Amino acid sequence: MTSKITHIETMLVDIPTIRPHKLSMTSMAVQTMVIVRIKDDQGREGLGEGTTIGGLAYGPESPESIKMNIDTYLAPLLIDQPLHSIKLLIQRLSMSVRGNMIAKSALQTALLDLQGKHLGVPVSTLLGGAIHQHIPCLWVLASGDTDKDITEAKALIASGRHCDFKLKIGSRHVNDDVAHVAAIKAALGDSASVRVDVNQAWDESTATKGMAALQEAGVDLVEQPTPAKEWDALSRLSQKFTIPILADEGVADASDVFQLAQRGFNGGIALKIAKAGGPIEALYAATVSLASGMELYGGTLLEGSIGTAVSIHAWSTLPKLHWGSEMFGPLLLQDDIIKQPLCYHNNGVDVPDAPGLGIEIDEEKLALYRRK
């Protein structure tokens, strides 16, 4: 019997981070998540999450706009609709509402969770089936203090939780940023992979200077050094250096991957469910990336456990994540709103195997952090 969607609820949830998280465009001390709960006429519930970074500092959607646009425009398109085809529901949303990819991703996540529970299978099965049960996961060193970052990294290596690290740079002069990164790489040596994320902060000439120095320092990867849609600049830089470039903000979906491939870009692609509009579209982007010879990386917008879980399910279906993932979002938060946290160990995170997302809401914690 096909179930129908009867109710959709959204709420803002604010959870403090364990430390300030510095990016080139903002600094975060609290993460705000939009939690979505979709219910059907058989009493089941699907959970979704829409999360971005730093309000409107990062992109065109804020937590408040995500919630309002779901409530006002997107949710009414789903009420009373049958659940038998999630792709049909996605098409219904896309034909009526432009953009709003994070909002659409949150709804798609909840629909997948609901259908997985209805069928008794994990979301990874709905997406084609898990190839991997454990996903590599790096940690971002973003305090901005060299000594603190070194101490933090060494402690995480010793604990076995992470051995790959990314540094957020771009808010300071390029020489200061390079010195900061080089000192950390020198302190960690060959025991860890060190990468950097510039978050679009450099122009092409600055990137040329910075990447030459980072290459000399032994850094493994440079993420999005130049502005998002400057595809030609990103392609030229990728051909100029042996140090690989990872395209992030410049690539939202499969169409963007195609544009980069046409320009001769030879780096990697950071997949994110939020910028693609959901895990299904993120996997479309992965297919075009692999067909173009580009390597893959599982990215995040620092989602909590719900958004992280659905990303893990999606990445588990890919043949290979050449650069691993950064599904560490829940670890950056002081608390969680699910009963059983995701399992982080052995430099990665386990793929949940229970029906749907494989997670359950802690109602008391949700009530505690829900914005009144």
Q: How is residue 162 written in tokens?
A: 């992470």
Confidence of residue 24 (pLDDT cuts 50, 70, 90): low
Each residue of 278-320: pLDDT tens digit? 999 999 999 999 999 999 999 999 999 999 999 999 999 999 9
CATH 3.30.390.10 fits 5-123+362-369, yes or no: yes
What's the maximum distance between 2 C-alpha atoms anywhere in the chain? 63
Confidence of residue 224 (pLDDT cuts 50, 70, 90): very high
Q: Where are the alpha helices (DSSP H) in 52-173?
A: 63-69, 75-78, 86-96, 101-119, 123-126, 146-159
Among 114, 81, 109, smallest CA distance to 96 is for 81
Q: Where in the chain is the domain with CATH 3.30.390.10?
A: 5-123+362-369
Q: Where in the chain is the domain with CATH 3.20.20.120?
A: 126-350
Judge contact between 93 and 74, C-beta under 8 A.
Answer: yes
* 326 in catalytic set: yes
Instruction: Give the active site residue among 67, 104, 166, 168.
Output: 168
Collect all residues with Cβ–Cβ distance below 8 Å to 143 and sequence separation of at least 6: 19, 20, 22, 149, 152
Ramachandran sector of residue 129 (left: φ over 0; alpha: ψ -120 to 50; beta: rest): left
- Mean pLDDT, range 91-106, rounded to an integer: 97
Judge contact between 201 and 24, C-beta under 8 A.
Answer: yes
Instruction: Give the active site residue among 49, 61, 281, 326.
Output: 326
- Mean pLDDT, range 100-108, rounded to an integer: 98
Distance in angstroms (rounded) separating the CA atoms of residues 232 and 249: 14
- Mean pLDDT, range 196-212, rounded to an integer: 95
Collect all residues with Cβ–Cβ distance below 8 Å to 317 and sequence separation of at least 6: 124, 127, 128, 129, 130, 131, 283
Confidence of residue 55 (pLDDT cuts 50, 70, 90): confident
* 168 in catalytic set: yes
Judge contact between 161 and 139, C-beta under 8 A.
Answer: yes
- pTM value is 0.94
Confidence of residue 57 (pLDDT cuts 50, 70, 90): confident
Domain range 126-350, CATH class: alpha beta
Q: Is the pLDDT of residue 1 over 80?
A: no
